[in-house]
Structures are given as C-alpha cells and as structure tokens.
Structure 1
Amino acid sequence: MARAAIRAALADTDDPAGRDTAELLTAELVANAVRHTPGGSRIELVVQLLPKRCQVEVHDADPEPPGALAPHAPEPEPGPWQEHGRGLLLIRALSSECGHHLTAWGKAVWFSLAVRD
C-alpha cells in the first residue's frame, strides 16, 4: 500500500528514477516500522510534495530512534550473508536528507528526495 501511495503521489512528476527511488526508500521505512513496532500499533505514511522535492515520513509508536540515521552515526557494515541491515544504508545513500524526530505517540523517520516536476 505504501508503494502504491508513493506512485500515486508522484505520478505527475517527470522523473521516473525519482519515483522509483522514492518507492524503494518508502518501502524500506515502512518495513522497518512494521518490523520494529509492536503488533497492532498504528503506522502512518505522510507524503509532502514540495517544489522540486518530496518528503516522506513514516510514523510509528516506538520512540526509539533508528541509530543508523543519527547525524554522526557510524556506517553499519552488514555481512554479505546477513538478511537485514541495509535499509537505512540505502536511505542515507540515496536520499537528499534523512532523519527522525519524536512525535506525540512515538517517532517519525523521514527522507527528502529531489524530484523533477
């Protein structure tokens, strides 16, 4: 559902690569929220279309910040056979900006991505 929401939100942009990247990064954030938030908890997707960029936030009930998105966090190095641990690396590498902030009921993890109109 999150991938479809991003595709629909960016349908009018003339930037197929930007749409694909936004879809990938959104899927990573939502997967992390589902994996690290207690079952039955609310997860929200917020998409803001701004001039020349979009910002995507995923809100969840777990207030624990994702360590790999802290400003001076070391780059984690997942092993070649490790099944998890690359999502936040992708977000850091492919987004223009990314981060997190506390919300009234947990946290929001976000990324910003340049897109052509």
Structure 2
Amino acid sequence: MLSDVPAPPPSSWRVALPHSTAAVPIARALIRTALADLDAPADSDTAELLTAELVANAVEHTDGSGPIELVVELLASGCQVEVHDHDPGAPGDLSSLLPGSAPDPWQEHGRGLILIRTLSSACGHRPTAHGKAVWFTLPSSRTPPGPAA
C-alpha cells in the first residue's frame, strides 16, 4: 500500500543555459525561482547578483562549445550555487584579494570576482568531467528562533 506522505522537496536544481549573453537575465530569474522552490534560507538578492556574475564570466571567458549549466544545492547552512562550463581553464583568483590588486576604477570589467569573494561565505572552482564548475556558498539568512518571551 502506498502512503499519502508527500515526497520531500528537492534539495537541488540543475538547468542548462545558452552560451550567450541571454543566459545572464535567464540565470537571474532562475536563481530566484530555484531558491523559492527549494525554500532555501539564503539571501536571494545576493544569490541573484553573484549568479549573474558567474554566468557572465562563463559567457565572456569561455568558447561557445556547449551550454552553461546552473546548479543550485540546498545546504543545511544555506545554499551553494555552481556554474559549469566546458573550459577546463581556471577562472581568475577567487581565493584572496592581493594588496594593490584593486580593479582600475576606469575599467568596465574586473569587479565580479571581488564581489563573489566579498559577498559569499566561500567560493572556488573545481574540475569536472567536461570542464569546470565555479561556485559560491551563501549562509542562511534566516534567524533561528529565539527563546519565547
């Protein structure tokens, strides 16, 4: 006999995106939807901004040999967002901001990785079977319930 217990909500979301600038606004909408669908406890505005940066970097700095993939995973402490592409080359430095390495204020580009390092609780990249994944994690934005007054 089957029970009427509902299936647990999904703990991850995976979506292929076109390798074009159209992927950026699509990713912004998808990350907001994914976080709502997963009931993720992370700040959706920050997730949207950082996801757009990762997708824009993937479009700009990799060839168009395949789609970009957006992966959102719910964690006990927040969420992790990954953007997969087909280029195995490492992205710019996600680990630290070196002294004197601030972007040129007159240049249009060069701030995305700084935003990701600054606004995420962790970030990095890893090789995949078909290229690489660049990721960030966001902590829970929910305040745990306090003692009753």
Give the TM-score of the pair, scaled to structure 1. Answer: 0.87
Q: 1:114 to 1:67 in 2, by over 3 A?
A: same
Which of 22, 26, 29 in structure 2 is aligned with 1:4? 29
Unaligned runs of 5+ in 2: 1-25, 143-149
Note if contact 1:91-1:98 (Cα within 8 Å) is conserved in structure 2.
yes
Aligned length in residues: 114
Note if contact 1:78-1:86 (Cα within 8 Å) is conserved in structure 2.
yes
**Over the residues paired in the alignment, what is the CA RMSD in angstroms?**
1.8
Q: Which position in structure 2 is the counterpart of 1:60?
A: 85
Q: Quick one: distance in 2 between partners of 1:44 and 1:35?
A: 15
Q: 1:73 to 1:107 in 2, by over 3 A?
A: farther
Unaligned runs of 5+ in 1: none
Q: Which position in structure 1 is the counterpart of 2:128?
A: 103
Which of 62, 68, 74 in structure 2 is aligned with 1:43? 68
Q: Which position in structure 1 is the counterpart of 2:12?
A: none
Note if contact 1:52-1:116 (Cα within 8 Å) is conserved in structure 2.
no
Which of 51, 60, 63 in structure 2 is aligned with 1:26? 51
Structure ID, larger Rg: 2
Give the TM-score of the pair, scaled to structure 2. Answer: 0.70
Q: Quick one: distance in 2 between partners of 1:29 and 1:13?
A: 19
SS at structure 2 position matched to 1:67: coil
Higher relative contact order (CA 8 A, sep 6+): 1
What whole-Å deviation, never above 9, does each CA across 1:67-102 have from its counterpart, x for those lacking one? 311x45636321111111100000000000000000
Q: Which position in structure 2 is the counterpart of 1:74?
A: 98
- Residue identity in the other structure for 1:100: H
Percent sequence identity over matched residues? Answer: 65
Note if contact 2:96-2:117 (Cα within 8 Å) is conserved in structure 1.
no
